[in-house]
Structure 1
């Protein structure tokens, strides 16, 4: 399974938090915006944000608001959600938010969707978590009709109503989806325009495994994986001293992130998971290395998967703002040129 293109898009993945548990402040968002606007000047292709609710460390709860502000600050970068939790949303509100953002950004927005899993989020929004798959299926069909300009039957007593405004991209407004299980990948192949692959601790092997299943289901639906965007969402850190940065910056950040996801992903009646020891996370297999080795690893991912875009956590929690700015410069100077078309 080989990618036919040598070029590759690089984009940022933002979750709205920059520390390990400190409250979000105006400084938090100001620094994130500074990082993203620098990334545009450096030639990064896009930025994706994500969504969670009720996390005490400031995880971003308002992905459309954040991207709407960015739409006025960056002029070339694409914008996307990676991911927004469709089952939690009133579907008309989701369609309207997405359409307005696409108009504001002049057609630069991609709507990335996921199921969600956190028990307290479904309880908070009054949604039965057992019905999330049905809500996803029905929701995507609703969005497709709405973006085509078709009236949808959710008015009083089922009266048809339009969803306005029409997206700038019209019926071609792209909807990507995430997931890693086989049922999720079958749903991606059947309903989506692209795949958001979360590949956390062994990007190459995880992406290969997911893409093999995706390809099988795309073929069943008469679709070609080489015409299907694949975005690998992962950790990446480029350094001339990767061992030092791993021990002082990246391993603590990844351990904190893993702890937060494990804690909130555990249902209330289940035992609390133990804390993650940073020393238990191995750098081997991750894109945390010298520029030359990172380029080599990404080339291997391109050779073995239909990768079209690499999306990386741009601000691992706890890493200082000045280190992030320097890292973006380093990636732009020493990694991006290797993946530009001649």
Structure 2
């Protein structure tokens, strides 16, 4: 039996999602970040809700490695946008540093920050930071209670010989600062239900994109109930690709399919462990537009409304600047979404 969303979930916020890249493998330059910041500021004026950024290290195309620095600059430029990490690779970080960076960013942004975390998976990243990948789940489990205590203003045992030590400053939101988690497997969804304040869901990435999200929700809902948590008020952010056009097939062939193929290849290549066979570079023609949220405005609205009737997600964040898509085309897509899609969900 499908779970229907209640009326409080009919409103939908739209946020941008960035990994700091704008090109198909060209180095990041000052122009890269200037264009992205211009896009974020324009989105702020258009009425978008926020910006989420992701993190990776050692990618040869300039994937964003410094999410807190990047978000701090956005906070200074776009005074209304909410900010979040989607995802911070928590096991790679000293947990005190996460607490301090989070607190400073939350104070700078006057309480606009959400800390979104995930386990990570890329072998070379764990090697680069001297963290055994086998310990990533343990580090996650230990970090969340630490962060909660730090945000409450409690002393933590980081001092000499375990002496109590404060974590300062305190976040502007204090203990209310939300910690969201990403997950795909049932074990990870159980962790979300047990430890997190919200779920960062990934959607429209498979042959059955809507059903993928519905399945994740049903699993998460069962675990929320197991821990006595209210599934009707648990925040869900749907992370996906979104592009609206009067001629979506044209835009798909000329702009988006090559970008999707590039992105998938980079993820697959960088995520391949040493000694494993490297993946073949995918053909853009092998990707199907209907597997992504690339459509006319009316069709996008209908697909989202139909999905929201089954899954109570209250925010959608989308890759705002797919690699290889020109800056002006990105700006025009933001304007089309603001004009034709956002009003349907207010």
Same fold (TM over 0.5): yes
Per the alignment, residue 248 of structure 2 pairs with 242
User: Which runs of structure 2 are paired with 1:103-114 in the superposition (5 Å)?
Assistant: 103-114=107-118
2:125 pairs with 1:121: yes
TM-score in terms of structure 1 length: 0.98
CA–CA distance in structure 2, aligned partners of residues 265 and 226 of structure 1:
35
CA–CA distance in structure 2, aligned partners of residues 282 and 156 of structure 1:
57
Deviation at 1:141, TM superposition (A): 0.9
Per the alignment, residue 214 of structure 1 pairs with 220
The answer to whether the 8 A contact 2:10-2:314 is kept is: no
SS at match of 1:312: strand
Per the alignment, residue 61 of structure 1 pairs with 65
RMSD: 0.8
Picking from 3, 6, 24, the partner of 2:5 is 3
The answer to whether the 8 A contact 1:225-1:306 is kept is: no
The answer to whether the 8 A contact 1:53-1:59 is kept is: yes
1:263-313 superposed Cα distances (whole Å, 9 cap, x missing partner)? 111101110011111111111132100000000100011011111111100
2:99 pairs with 1:95: yes
The answer to whether the 8 A contact 2:86-2:116 is kept is: yes
Deviation at 1:79, TM superposition (A): 0.3
Picking from 261, 269, 277, the partner of 1:271 is 277
Deviation at 1:78, TM superposition (A): 0.5
User: Which runs of structure 2 are paired with 1:276-291 in the superposition (5 Å)?
Assistant: 276-291=282-297
Picking from 235, 238, 241, the partner of 1:232 is 238
CA–CA distance in structure 2, aligned partners of residues 285 and 59 of structure 1:
24
TM-score in terms of structure 2 length: 0.97
Deviation at 1:203, TM superposition (A): 3.5
Picking from 165, 182, 189, the partner of 2:186 is 182
Picking from 324, 333, 337, the partner of 1:327 is 333
2:317 pairs with 1:315: no
Per the alignment, residue 139 of structure 1 pairs with 143
1:74-120 superposed Cα distances (whole Å, 9 cap, x missing partner)? 11111000000000001101110000000000000000000000000
CA–CA distance in structure 1, aligned partners of residues 102 and 210 of structure 2:
32
SS at match of 2:64: coil
The answer to whether the 8 A contact 1:266-1:272 is kept is: yes
The answer to whether the 8 A contact 2:15-2:48 is kept is: yes
CA–CA distance in structure 2, aligned partners of residues 178 and 216 of structure 1:
17
Deviation at 1:224, TM superposition (A): 1.6
Per the alignment, residue 36 of structure 1 pairs with 40
1:188-210 superposed Cα distances (whole Å, 9 cap, x missing partner)? 00000000011224441111011
1:102-159 superposed Cα distances (whole Å, 9 cap, x missing partner)? 0000000000000000000000000000000000000111101110111000111101
Unaligned runs of 5+ in 1: none
Picking from 191, 198, 205, the partner of 1:194 is 198
SS at match of 1:284: helix
CA–CA distance in structure 2, aligned partners of residues 193 and 2 of structure 1:
21
Deviation at 1:9, TM superposition (A): 0.5
CA–CA distance in structure 1, aligned partners of residues 86 and 231 of structure 2:
20
CA–CA distance in structure 1, aligned partners of residues 141 and 275 of structure 2:
29
Deviation at 1:3, TM superposition (A): 2.0
The answer to whether the 8 A contact 2:237-2:314 is kept is: yes
CA–CA distance in structure 2, aligned partners of residues 251 and 297 of structure 1:
20
SS at match of 2:31: helix
Per the alignment, residue 84 of structure 1 pairs with 88
Picking from 31, 45, 68, the partner of 2:49 is 45
**After the TM superposition, which parts of structure 1 deviate over 6 Å for at least 4 consecutive aligned residues?**
none
